[in-house]
Structure 1
Amino acid sequence: MSEIDQLLDDLRVVYNKMAWLNGDKMKKALEGYTASEVHWLEFIENTPDVNVTKLSEHFFMTRGAMSKATKKLIAKGAIYSIKKADNKKEIYFELTEEGRRVYNLHETLHQEFKIRDKHIFDTLSKETISEVDTFLKKYNQHLTSEIKKNDLKIQ
């Protein structure tokens, strides 16, 4: 196995272990919401002027699929839609009290997981963290460019 193959395999294994280790606790705490819905709520909370277009671009989904998803979140009482006074055509989304409850639970769990794993990250030098971060950003940009080049939409 080449070093690159090993690196990619290691990334997959780490991701799968994190998902497995954190999954049950997340599912129980965020019952009634899928992982995707929770991440959509997180994006809505942390991004100004969120509309279907911003959501679909960020999550690599069609606008139609994202529109359907936001309708589900509205039905669950997690978000509401608004129109701004200066733009009556565009629809934006914000979290309701229920949406903020889910968002805050999700954030609390992430903090708990970071505390659990802190001793590992504390062993890394700032340079190592910077190098890993640089690599992940470069790889992420490459994958984004490949998606755009191939005009792919992830469903």
Structure 2
Amino acid sequence: MNKEERAMKGLWDIFKKRIWLDSFKMKDRLKGYNPSEIHCIAYIGEDEDSNVTKLAESFGMTRGAISKLTKKLVKKGLIESYQKPNNNKEVYFELTEQGKTIYDIHEEMHREFKDRDQPFFEQVTEEQLDIILGFAKKYNMHLDTEIKKLGVDMKSDNL
């Protein structure tokens, strides 16, 4: 395996372990809610005037998929929809008290994950972080270029 392959494998291993570790803890504290529901609740909790369009753009999902997800969250009593008095066309979402509880648990867990990883990041130098950030930026730009070459809309393909 050459250096590029080892680097990509190393990044993939980090990603998988972080997802596994975080989801392992979240599954216990947020039973009964899937990751899409939790992230939708988090977005609505952080963004005033959340609507289907904003959610679809943020998650790279279709408006239809977001409509289905938000209907599910309304049915579970986690969010409610509303319209502004001067705009009867657009439907917005806000958290219910039950949704705020889930949001608070999610935020608390993110703080716990950050605290868990902080001792590691205290050992990383500014120079090392700059190198990682530069790599991530350049590689993301490369991938964006490759996606554009395909003529694919990431949002409509749920990437």
Tell me whether the two structures share a fold, i.e. TM-score over 0.5.
Answer: yes
Considering only aligned residues, what root-mean-square deviation do their CA atoms show, in Å?
A: 2.1
Decide which moves more: 47-56 or 61-70.
47-56
**Residue 6 of structure 1: how far off its partner (Å):** 2.1
Q: Is 1:36–2:36 an aligned residue pair?
A: yes
Could you tell me which amino acid in structure 1 is paired with residue 73 of structure 2?
L
Q: Identity over aligned residues, as a percent?
A: 44
Could you tell me which amino acid in structure 1 is paired with residue 42 of structure 2?
E
* CA distance 1:28–1:95, shift in 2 (3 Å): same
**Residue 125 of structure 1: how far off its partner (Å):** 1.7
Counterpart residue number, 1:150: 152
- Give the 5 Å matches for 1:52-67: 52-67=52-67
Q: Distance in 2 between matches of 1:115 and 1:5?
A: 31
Structure 1 residues without counterparts, runs of 5 or longer = none
Q: TM-score, normalised by structure 1?
A: 0.87
Structure 2 residues without counterparts, runs of 5 or longer = none
Decide which moves more: 80-89 or 137-146.
137-146
What's the CA shift string for 1:97-120, capped at 9, x where partnerless?
A: 111111111111111122122110
**Residue 24 of structure 1: how far off its partner (Å):** 2.3
- Give the 5 Å matches for 1:90-105: 90-105=90-105
Q: Distance in 1 between matches of 2:140 and 2:71?
A: 29
**Residue 2 of structure 1: how far off its partner (Å):** 3.3
**Residue 73 of structure 1: how far off its partner (Å):** 0.7
Counterpart residue number, 1:14: 14
Q: Distance in 1 between matches of 2:142 and 2:82?
A: 35
What's the CA shift string for 1:104-155, capped at 9, x where partnerless?
A: 1111111112212211000112232233234334444554562794123217
Q: Describe the SS at the equivalent of 2:50.
A: coil
